[in-house]
Amino acid sequence: MAAKVTGYSRAQVALHWIVLVLVAFQFLAHDGIEKAWRGFRSGQPTPTDAAVLTNMHIGAGTLVLMLALLRIYLRLTRGAPPPPADEPRLLQLAAEAVHLLIYALLIALPLSGAVAWFAGVAASAKVHEWLTNALLGAIAVHIGGALFQHFVRRSDVLMRMLSPQRD
Ligand code: HEM
Ligand code: HEM
């Protein structure tokens, strides 16, 4: 049972923003692995100019998986601050659902990528591609929600992911 807390810990805040940087890298620098994947599918070796970016994609993706598991562990053991008391129940549920979806995608993405890459399963690469779009959509809604909380509802939700609780 998670303890009652009023803010995110230093580790939770740091992990949130580190994962953001890693995920942004995955979306901005996937050319290498796409080239390598196309080469693999047509029986060609990975082109040398794509090898570094390919390894970085696999490395950063694996790191995202490990950090997502660590975040879920912290979430379950330490807990997360409750939503603002005056927040409509529907908004609370929507925010929780989007967080849950993002966590699920941060696990499913590296796994589908690994099955495609290490076992050569083309269908898994397709799933990986669909999941990248789902993650982009979820992140867009998530950022919209954070900005809505800050500028429209004027709650402390955005600030608590910027300044950790002292504990
Ligand atoms: C959270 C982690 C990850 C994210 C956000 C991510 C994101 C992406 C993106 C945006 C693409 C380009 C998709 C497109 O064609 O539009 C891609 C392609 C690919 N990724 Fe990942 N990736 C992650 C983890 C991994 C891991 C760990 C592996 C392998 C061990 C991997 C293997 C691949 C492969 C093989 C492709 C090429 C698939 C294709 O072109 O159809 N990915 N990834
Ligand atoms: C500019 C971009 C982003 C902003 C402004 C932002 C803001 C926030 C804020 C304010 C919270 C706290 C919500 C609350 O306490 O109810 C939060 C939580 C969360 N964010 Fe983000 N976020 C951003 C990007 C991302 C990205 C890229 C990801 C994932 C790849 C992500 C995943 C999460 C998750 C899973 C939580 C739930 C944390 C928990 O309670 O376990 N966020 N975010």
CA distance 71 to 82: 17
Q: How much is the average pLDDT of 113-128?
A: 98
Give me the percent of the chain exceeding a pLDDT of 70: 97
Task: Answer yes or no: are the C-beta atoms of 30 and 57 closer than 8 Å.
Answer: yes
Question: Quick check: 104 pLDDT over 90?
Answer: yes
| Pocket test residue of 64, 139, 161 for ligand 2, highest count of atoms within 8 A of CB | 161
Ligand that lies nearest to the alpha carbon of residue 137, given by its number in the listed order: 2
Residues 6+ apart with CB under 8 A from 155: 84, 87, 149
Return the domain boundaries, the chain.
10-160
Q: What is the pLDDT of residue 1?
A: 45
Q: How much is the average pLDDT of 64-84?
A: 97
Q: Is 35 in the pocket of ligand 1 (CB under 6 A)?
A: no
Q: Which two tokens stand for residue 163?
A: 């300044």
Give me the percent of the chain exceeding a pLDDT of 90: 91
Helix (H, G, I), strand (E, B) or coil at 127: helix
CA distance 112 to 125: 7
Q: How far is the CA of 150 from the centre of ligand 1 (A)?
A: 32
Q: How sure is the predictor about 84, in pLDDT bands with cuts at 50, 70 and 90?
A: very high
Q: How far is the CA of 102 from the centre of ligand 1 (A)?
A: 16
Helix (H, G, I), strand (E, B) or coil at 82: coil
| Pocket test residue of 21, 28, 99, 147 for ligand 2, highest count of atoms within 8 A of CB | 99
**Dihedral over Cα of 154, 90, 107, 47: its sign:** negative
Q: How sure is the predictor about 69, in pLDDT bands with cuts at 50, 70 and 90?
A: very high
pTM for this prediction = 0.94
Least Cα distance to 77 among 164, 5, 148 occurs for 5
Nearest CA to ligand 1 atom 32: 113
Q: pLDDT tens digits for 87-103?
A: 999 999 999 999 999 99
Q: What is the pLDDT of residue 166?
A: 75
Nearest CA to ligand 2 atom 17: 161
Question: Quick check: 3 pLDDT over 80?
Answer: no
Q: How sure is the predictor about 2, in pLDDT bands with cuts at 50, 70 and 90?
A: low
